[in-house]
Chains A and B, each alone.
Chain A
């Protein structure tokens, strides 16, 4: 499996994805200038922009790397030659997933360092009212990585049943959008404002809430931007949720992929 992880990483670098990200990351240079448009929170705006840019880049990577990795292998018939080797389909799938997730982590580390430099520079010119809590900023990026690794797992699950890249790509985007609002929907249906909603609708929404991934728990941007405290038990529960949910998605993916007919 480690061989597949290595091959996946090499493949991503060979496709010059990293160079593409570095070009996109040049936008970091513009952030200190853009942040000065703020009236009272220049450093906070620079943090908002840097964290959003990192998040956006990781979203693109998750959707396109996660959604096309398996499909590309099947389409180019790489799977025939690779799976002819003494390697299980599950190991192959997990290797591909691990390589993609590792690349995402690597990108987050590089972009995180760049973000730190940009924000530190802005803060030196425009000192914020409240000190920057660097630990929370790092946690925010780390939890963003976890969120997008979870999204990659979703993309892999969809890829195992799909015959084209459309379904994994658009399915992943749809899951991302739905996973971002499930908590709001849950809170709405459990509030007095939803008293006119039919019980079936409420049960359906509750069912979807438990079924779809909940991405709102991974969003620590507001804590990082304004230096708000992060509850330790919440972090622990979110990590546990991530491990269990990704584990379930990968086990489903492996089960489906091992039974998939390759032509």
Chain B
């Protein structure tokens, strides 16, 4: 009895010694490792058996938690480049398992366009989703925005918005379709789109991500308005944003939430050195993470 109790006690002590470094190791494990390896979709379908919807949901949640962790780190001034390729692969796998999973389309739309600039890939995914979610106005709404804002394909945008309008039963999308037919006012349209996304978003990480981008576009829009006033007043486009501030057209000075500097291009277009993304931190561990990314 005493011997058994002693062995149990030793076991508990060993567990107590081990559990802290074990937890620390798992907590600090690189994100790329956490996202892990995902087998091919046919293999997944076989393993998932009758739990395909559950497996798809778990893949989406895995990506979301991974991304949420990165957003937290970016708040603490440690911007780690996300492994977008793995994220995209997981979400594409998820919709192959459950083509109705809205979270996958929604999340893919959020980063494939703004961050990865894979507009066609995003629209292909949305087109795939539209074949299944035939009642959902969000997918053509997203595709319409991508077509107009990123791809400058206004005819396609009008078609998508027409469909979104029919599905939603409101004239909002049809009105947007009309606006997207015009190339002008892109920043305003982006603000409108992002405002709608921020309003409808419940996930804190994504909401913050959209909010930061919205703030950046609102700042860019402020500069555009000041630039137009300057042009009306002085008859020429300003060469620098400093001219707008010193001339009293722009107050307070614009601030890029991504940490960059706004500037005016030759044709007066507002741009920023951050390219609407957080600067990447260069260190050894991140270099390794990047190496892993390249291998995928």
A39 and B206 in contact, given A177-B49, A226-B100 (Cβ under 8 angstroms): yes
- Chain A residues within an 8 Å CB radius of B45: 181, 184
Residues of B with C-beta under 8 A to A45 = 57, 103
Verify if B61 is at the interface (C-beta below 8 Å from A).
Answer: yes
Residue on A with the closest CB to B47? A177
- A130-B53 in contact (CB<8A): no
Residue of B whose beta carbon sits closest to that of A218: B50
A92 interfacial by beta-carbon distance below 8 Å: no
Q: Nearest Cβ in chain A — how far from B35, in angstroms?
A: 16
User: In the assembly, what is the distance between CA of A41 and CA of B203, in Å?
Assistant: 12
Indicate whether A155 reaches chain B with its CB closer than 8 angstroms.
no
Measured in the bound complex, the distance between the Cα atoms of B42 and A38 in whole Å is 25
Q: Is the interface of B mostly helix, strand, loop or mixed?
A: helix
Task: Judge whether B135 and A39 touch: CB under 8 Å.
Answer: no
Residue of B nearest to A224 (CB): B53
A15 at the interface (CB under 8 A from B): no
Docked CA distance A234–B96 (Å)? 23
Complex contacts, B201 vs chain A, CB 8 Å: 39
A181 and B46 in contact (CB under 8 A), knowing A37-B61, A48-B54, A55-B51? yes
Contact mask B41-68 → A, CB, 8 Å, 1/0?
0100110011111100100110011000
Interface string of A94-134 (1 = CB under 8 A from B): 00000000000000000000000000000000000110000
Q: B135–A130 contact, CB under 8 A?
A: yes
Indicate if the CB atoms of B50 and A39 lie closer than 8 Å. no
Partner of A48, one of B46, B53, B64, B206: B53
Interface string of A6-50 (1 = CB under 8 A from B): 000000000000000000000000000000111111101100110
Asked if A39 and B103 sit within 8 Å, CB to CB, the answer is yes
Q: In whole angstroms, what is the CA distance A55 to B55 when docked? A: 14
The contact of A222 among B53, B61, B65, B206, by CB within 8 Å, is B53
- Give, as a whole number of angstroms, the nearest-CB distance from B33 to chain A: 21
Q: Are A222 and B49 in contact (CB under 8 A)?
A: no
Task: Enumerate chain A residues within 8 angstroms of B52, measured Cβ to Cβ.
Answer: 221-222
Contact B50–A219 (Cβ < 8 Å): yes
Chain B residue nearest to A42 (CB atoms) is B202
Q: Smallest Cβ distance from A141 to chain B, in angstroms?
A: 13
Residues of the A chain whose Cβ atoms lie less than 8 Å from the Cβ of B203: 37, 39
In the assembled complex, how far is the CB of residue B19 from the closest CB belonging to chain A, in whole angstroms? 23
Given A129-B136, A184-B45, does the pair A41, B50 have CB atoms closer than 8 Å? no
B83 at the interface (CB under 8 A from A): no
- Whether B135 contacts A225 by the Cβ 8 Å rule is no
Alpha-carbon distance A147/B206, docked complex (angstroms): 40
- Binary interface encoding of chain A residues 215-255 relative to chain B, with 1 for a CB under 8 A from any of its CBs, else 0: 11011011001101000000000000000000000000000
How many A-B pairs have beta carbons closer than 8 Å: the answer is: 74
The reply to whether A39 and B64 form a contact with Cβ atoms under 8 Å apart is yes
A163 close to B (CB within 8 Å)? no
The interface residues of chain B lying within 8 Å CB-to-CB of A177 are 46, 49
Note all chain B residues with C-beta closer than 8 A to A222.
52-53, 98, 100
Cα A176 to Cα B64 in complex, Å, equals: 31
**B57 engages A38 (CB within 8 Å):** yes
Contacts of A180 in B (CB 8 A): 46, 49-50
Contact among A41, A129, A176, A225 for B49, CB-based, below 8 A: A176
Which B residue's beta carbon lies closest to that of A221? B53
Q: How far is the CA of A36 from the CA of B201 in the complex (A)?
A: 12
Interface centre among B42, B57, B64, B203 (most CB of A within 10 A): B57
**From residue 38 to 95 of chain A, which have CB atoms closer than 8 A to chain B?**
38-42, 44-45, 48-49, 51-52, 55-56
Tell me if B49 and A48 are in contact (CB < 8 A): no
Residues of A within 8 A of B (CB): 36-42, 44-45, 48-49, 51-52, 55-56, 129-130, 144, 147, 176-177, 180-181, 184, 215-216, 218-219, 221-222, 225-226, 228
Across the A-B interface, give the 7 residue pairs with the lowest CB-CB distance, nearest first: A52-B54, A180-B49, A40-B102, A226-B100, A39-B203, A48-B53, A41-B102
Can you identify 28 A-B contacts, CB atoms within 8 angstroms? A36-B202, A37-B61, A37-B64, A37-B203, A39-B103, A39-B106, A39-B202, A40-B102, A40-B106, A40-B138, A42-B202, A44-B102, A48-B57, A49-B54, A51-B53, A55-B51, A130-B135, A144-B50, A147-B50, A176-B49, A180-B49, A181-B45, A184-B45, A215-B50, A222-B52, A222-B98, A225-B100, A228-B100
